[in-house]
Amino acid sequence: MNDKIKTLLFTIVVTAVFTFLVSGINAALKERIQLNRTVARQKVILSLFGLMSADKALAESDVPALFAGETELVKFAGKADFECYRRKNATDELFVFAFSGQGFWDNIIGFLAVDAEKMQIKGIEFTSHGETPGLGGRISEPEFKARFKDKPFAETRQDGLRLKVVAEGAASRSDEIDGITGATGTSSSIEKIVNAALAKFITQKQGGISN
């Protein structure tokens, strides 16, 4: 057997062994990775309901039990794939629902909390995005997310929007939100995504909740 054949066989064997090891590790970690993703989403939803915060420390292992005990998935009559939650046995009209849409670079995914009685946004969290750090990536900063707090969405503006994202520092009406300087594309995307999510929620809510 010449050296070229030996080298080829050695390469094939090494590649096969490493492929087997990587596949085995991925299979072993797949369940854990999925659990971590689920817990991360549950923590966001719980925080929007005010059940988790820096002052309410909770072990990762306790999150699923709290989530199962305190929240429930809302089943709307109109559409089954609309992911929306509320507190179990709640007397208020606070809902938390998922949203997603195209950002400037990649999909922007997150959750909105709204008071359906007062028709106000109570909170927003972004769980995934690929916006530019220091520019569009500022949507993840607490200061930007706070701009949505208590914003009304009951009325439709003349431009067809319920909430308008304007230049940073230019918001002068209750239905306007300061965007991000230097990230016009991201600000415009957030405007479209949030308005679409609110419109979808309103439509589903008007269709009624299934028991």
Place of tokens 């940073």: 168
The percent of residues in the chain predicted with pLDDT above 90, rounded, is 69
How would you class 139 by CB atoms within 10 Å of its CB: exposed for 0-12, middle for 13-18, buried for 19 or more? buried
**pLDDT tens sequence across 129-160:** 999 999 999 999 999 999 999 999 999 999 99
Name the pTM for this structure. Answer: 0.82
> Number of helices (H) and strands (E), helices first, in the chain?
4, 7
Tens digit of each residue's pLDDT (9 = 90 or more) over 67-114: 999 999 998 886 667 899 999 988 899 999 999 999 999 999 999 999
Query: Given this model, what pLDDT does residue 32 score?
Result: 76
Per-chain mean pLDDT for the chain: 89
> What is the distance in angstroms between the CA of the first residue and the CA of the last residue of the chain?
73
Report pLDDT digits (tens) over 48-62.
999 987 777 778 889
Confidence (pLDDT) at 91: 87
What pLDDT score does 31 carry? 77
pLDDT interval class at 12 (50, 70, 90): confident
Eight-class DSSP state of 65: H
Q: Does 28 score more than 70 pLDDT?
A: no
pLDDT exceeds 80 at position 210: no
- Residue 209: band (very low, low, confident or very high) from pLDDT cuts 50, 70, 90: confident
Alpha-helix residue ranges (DSSP H) falling in the chain: 3-48, 63-70, 142-145, 184-207
Closest CA to 109 of 87, 88, 79, 140: 140
User: Mean pLDDT over residues 30-51, rounded?
Assistant: 89
